[in-house]
Amino acid sequence: MKAPGAAWLFWRALALLALAVLAAPARAETVHVRAVHDGDTVLLADGRRVRYLGIDAPERGQPFYAEALKLNLALTAGRTVRLEFDRKREDRYGRLLAYVHVGEEMVNARLVREGLAHVYLIPPNLLHAEALLGLQAEAQAKGLGMWGVVPGVRPGRQRLRPPGGPRRIPALRPRGAHLRLPLGRPPAGLRPHAPRRPRPGPAGPRRADPALLGRRPARLEQPG
């Protein structure tokens, strides 16, 4: 039997490559924003929700919530945007995870640059991590937005690639079903405070429960 020629092998390889490309999920999608939920979440015309990747904006009741919401509204409400996906496309709540682009501008980056969101990374979605960290450092240095709340706040030291060293990511802390990596935390006034545990009092005799006073101890009978 005659061996297949070079031309046949070429077209076969090209066909397999085309099938692989078609089978792979799209890295980008053009959508229409119907409503803006908050500084880092929007609702699409088809009912899906999109959570912005790589950032965390203030929640309702926290400082700069209104400013982040206002900027997100101005950039995305009622507009056609492009979603850029990373390695993981959805979170455990079924929301799309994406970098949101309006024209040539990434909304995620704009919020960080103006100090209205801080970098919040969840591996394996680290595509724009270094760029976002650089923008956050600039916002911190200028005291923009949330970084101007507490005097003397300086850029965080966490980096994905320390100068002259290998790629390193700070230790991950499990929380729920995700391994979350908050890099460059916001000022203390923007973080929820953990409840303090009551300090143990001085050692002394324990007071009897008034509800138990007057009750006779239960009889313990030895089985026959």
Domains of the chain by residue range: 24-185
Taking only the tens place, the pLDDT of each residue in 187-205 is 555 654 444 455 555 555 5
Q: What's the rounded Cα separation, in Å, for the pair 48 and 96?
A: 7
**Two structure tokens written together for 57:** 């904006």
**Two structure tokens written together for 188:** 């203390």
CA distance to 62, 215, 216, 218, 224, per residue, from 221 (Å): 62, 18, 15, 10, 9
Q: Is 67 helix (H, G, I), strand (E, B) or coil?
A: helix
The second-level CATH assignment, the architecture, of 24-185 is Beta Barrel (2.40)
For the whole model, what pTM was predicted?
Answer: 0.62
183 or 63: whose pLDDT is higher? Answer: 63
Sign of CA dihedral 210, 216, 220, 224: negative
86 or 218: whose pLDDT is higher? Answer: 86
Window from 9-13, 56-60, 120-124, 197-201 with minimum mean pLDDT: 197-201
Residues marked as catalytic: 51, 59, 95
Q: What's the rounded Cα separation, in Å, for the pair 122 and 53?
A: 8
53 with 89: CB under 8 angstroms? no
Taking only the tens place, the pLDDT of each residue in 126-181 is 999 999 999 999 999 999 999 997 554 444 433 343 334 333 434 333 333 334 55
Which of 133, 147, 148, 144 shows the shortest CA–CA distance to 181? Answer: 133
Q: What's the rounded Cα separation, in Å, for the pair 127 and 111?
A: 17
Q: What's the rounded Cα separation, in Å, for the pair 52 and 98?
A: 5
**Two structure tokens written together for 24:** 């792979």
47-60 burial, b at 16+ Cβ within 10 Å, e below that, comes to eeebbbbbbbbbee
Q: What's the rounded Cα separation, in Å, for the pair 56 and 183?
A: 11
27 with 84: CB under 8 angstroms? yes
Taking only the tens place, the pLDDT of each residue in 154-165 is 444 333 433 343
Q: What's the rounded Cα separation, in Å, for the pair 172 and 85?
A: 22
Q: What's the rounded Cα separation, in Å, for the pair 32 and 129?
A: 26
